Amino acid sequence: MARARRPTEPGRHTGGFRDSGPSRTGLGGWWWQRLSAGYIGGFVVLALAWLALDPPTGYAQWRIWLAQDGIRLLLAVFVAAVAVHAYIGVRDIMMDYVPEGAVRTGAFALWSLAVAGFAAWGWLWVADLAGGP
């Protein structure tokens, strides 16, 4: 008598095609990591180019440059990109190495609060730059 086949688990090879279950769950995070890294890199290049071409001579020049609306917008997006990049990176590490259950849930909660706190602090700092020198 033939043994009954168990239903295949999502993401397992089923003979003719691959189910897109858990095997694709990390693709969105992967894209956000790449997009945020690209933005972070581009912003750093822009800032370094500005420093090389027109280095500030004092605190007042820094504040004037940072208080420009365009730069403040770029800084706000930079804060968001760093927050997204850090959250996804550490989240993926925790998913791989922290055991499921209360420990992982607690670690996720603490990390989420830390990233939210960083983002809030960064956006408040960028908003404060509008005051000028």
Query: How many folded domains does the chain comprise?
Result: 1
Residue 111 within any structural domain of the chain: yes
Residue 33 within any structural domain of the chain: yes
pLDDT of residue 26: 76
Residue 2 within any structural domain of the chain: no
* Percent over 70 (pLDDT), the chain: 80
pTM of the model: 0.78
Give the separation between CA 67 and CA 31, rounded to whole angstroms.
31
Residue count of the chain: 133
Residue 17 within any structural domain of the chain: no
Residue 14 within any structural domain of the chain: no
Give the separation between CA 18 and CA 63, rounded to whole angstroms.
55
Strand ranges (E), the chain: none
List the structure tokens of 57: 């001579």
Residue 16 within any structural domain of the chain: no
28-67: pLDDT as tens digits: 889 999 999 999 999 999 999 999 999 999 999 988 888 9
Where residue 72 sits, what CATH number does that domain have? 1.20.1300.10
